[in-house]
């Protein structure tokens, strides 16, 4: 057993050691933890930002050059126009995705800590601010691979009717027959019905209605409408020409409807074909004495190119 004097001599030494340790701890400066903004600011690669701007400019020039090339080749080889447009749309889509990925990799030095911060921020943004944009991106991918319609198709959607010019990451660009440009978000195509008149083919069916009186020579009228379509410079003769006859309520009475179904060789001449056939048939009716329903004063009416009655 140690004497009491020994224990008393250890006590001042212990107090001195504790006091010295506390003083040294107070003298050591504390290291502040960097904020998320500081961490993100350190990840920006300014040299990479310059390279990214140059890359964006080059990509833009490349896409414009390819667009002009596709337009020129489509004019020189009209039978390949739709195929070239579809390839160009896929090229645009892929180039956009690759360019976005390259810009991110060049402009940011991504560490695990930065990825964690950015992941949280992106999750919040996706959940609130960009849910419609993400839905459009997903819908764009589905359109590209499921192909309910393609670039160059003549489609009807949401009251609009025209040619699909481009299928982008966010939207589909549609040019109507009156030369208006319509932009439709991709996500709308997931829930609404879109009708394609040609389904990827260059030719398409055109439907035109004619009405004559029930007392007229309907067989002669049917032959005249068939001849008007067959002799049109816009007709696509490898596919059949049909004229169906039926009785329809017309005004206060009944009329005979002659519905022409024929194919135009190129979708862009749909209205030219319709107009040419209408004029030819009306001239032939006048020469043969075939008249419209009494008191109607109504000429031929277009039934819609997409209708498949």
For residues 208 and 292, membership in a common domain is answered with yes
191 and 216: one domain? no
Q: Name the residue with tokens 């990925």.
A: 101
Q: What is the largest CA-CA distance in the chain?
A: 142
140 occurs within a structural domain: no
The verdict on 187 and 219 lying in the same domain is no
Q: Which residues, at least 6 apart from 245, have a Cβ–Cβ distance to it below 8 Å?
A: 218, 222, 256, 257, 258, 259
141 found inside a domain: no
Tokens of 305: 């190119």
3-state secondary structure of 65: helix
What is the C-alpha to C-alpha distance for residues 117 and 101, in angstroms, rounded to an integer?
A: 18
Q: Pick from 196, 225, 254: which residue ends a domain?
A: 196
Residue 3 lies in a domain: no
For residue 297, the SS3 value is coil
Question: Which residue is listed with tokens 């069916």?
Answer: 205
| Whether residue 49 sits in one domain with residue 115 | yes
Q: Are residues 162 and 225 in the same domain?
A: no
- Profile the chain (309 residues) by mean pLDDT over runs of 10 residues: 50 53 49 56 73 88 88 77 77 83 76 61 59 71 78 86 85 88 85 81 92 92 95 94 91 89 92 95 93 65 38
What is the structure's pLDDT at 152? 82
Last residue of a domain, one of 129, 158, 186: 129
Residue 163 sits in the same domain as residue 226:
no
Q: How far is CA 46 from CA 34, 39, 149, in A?
A: 20, 15, 42
In this structure, is residue 8 part of a structural domain? no
CATH number at residue 229: 3.30.70.100
For residue 31, being part of any structural domain is answered with no
Number of structural domains found in the chain:
3
| 151 and 208 share one domain | no
Q: Which of 129, 154, 188 is the last residue of a domain?
A: 129
For residue 279, give Cα distances in angstroms to 30, 63, 246, 268, 301.
91, 43, 22, 19, 12
Beta bridge partners of 256: 212, 247
Domain that holds residue 125: 37-129
Tell me if 29 is assigned to some domain.
no
Give the Cα separation of 62 and 79 in Å (integer): 25
Q: With beta carbons less than 8 A apart as the criterion, state whether 132 and 142 touch.
A: no
Q: What is the pLDDT of residue 308?
A: 37
pLDDT in the model for residue 248: 87
CA distances from 44 to 96, 110, 116, 118 (A): 22, 9, 16, 13
pLDDT value at residue 303: 37
Map residue 259 onto helix, strand or coil: strand
Q: pTM for the full model?
A: 0.56
Residues 219 and 293 in one domain: yes
Domain-embedded: residue 24: no
Within a domain: 239? yes
What's the DSSP call for residue 216?
Answer: S
CA dist 276 and 188 (Å) reads 36
pLDDT, residue 257, reads 93
Q: Are residues 191 and 217 in the same domain?
A: no
- Using DSSP, state whether 169 is helix, strand or coil: coil
Q: Count CA atoms within 13 Å of residue 132 on its CB side.
A: 5
Q: Which has the closest alpha carbon to 146: 202, 98, 205, 189? A: 189
The dihedral of CA 190, 195, 199, 200: what is its sign? negative
Q: How many CB atoms are closer than 10 A to CB 290?
A: 19
CATH code: domain of residue 176: 2.30.30.60
């Amino acid at each position: 057993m140690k004497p009491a004097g020994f224990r008393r001599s250890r006590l001042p030494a212990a107090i001195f050691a504790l006091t010295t340790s506390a003083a040294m701890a107070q003298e050591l400066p504390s290291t502040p933890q960097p904020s998320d903004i500081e961490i993100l600011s350190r990840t920006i690669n300014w040299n990479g930002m310059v390279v990214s701007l140059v890359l964006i400019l080059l990509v833009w020039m490349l896409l414009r050059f390819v667009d002009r090339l596709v337009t020129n080749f489509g004019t020189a080889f009209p039978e390949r126009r739709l195929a070239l447009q579809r390839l160009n749309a896929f090229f645009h889509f892929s180039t956009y995705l690759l360019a976005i990925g390259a810009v991110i990799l060049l402009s940011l030095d991504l560490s695990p800590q930065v990825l964690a911060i950015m992941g949280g921020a992106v999750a919040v943004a996706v959940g609130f601010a960009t849910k419609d944009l993400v839905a459009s991106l997903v819908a764009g991918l589905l359109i590209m691979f499921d192909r309910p319609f393609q670039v160059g198709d003549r489609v009807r959607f949401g009251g609009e009717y025209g040619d699909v010019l481009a299928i982008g990451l966010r939207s589909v660009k549609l040019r109507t027959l009156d030369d208006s440009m319509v932009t439709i978000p991709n996500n709308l195509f997931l829930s609404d019905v879109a009708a394609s008149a040609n389904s990827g083919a260059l030719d398409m069916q055109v439907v035109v209605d004619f009405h004559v009186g029930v007392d007229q020579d309907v067989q002669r009228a049917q032959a005249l409408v068939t001849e008007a379509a067959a002799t049109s410079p816009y007709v696509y003769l490898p596919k059949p020409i049909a004229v169906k006859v039926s009785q329809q309520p017309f005004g206060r009475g009944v009329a005979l409807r002659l519905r022409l179904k024929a194919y135009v060789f190129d979708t862009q001449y749909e209205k030219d074909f319709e107009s040419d056939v209408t004029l030819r048939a009306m001239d032939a009716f006048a020469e043969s004495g075939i008249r419209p329903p009494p008191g109607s004063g109504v000429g031929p009416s277009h039934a819609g190119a997409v209708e498949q009655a």
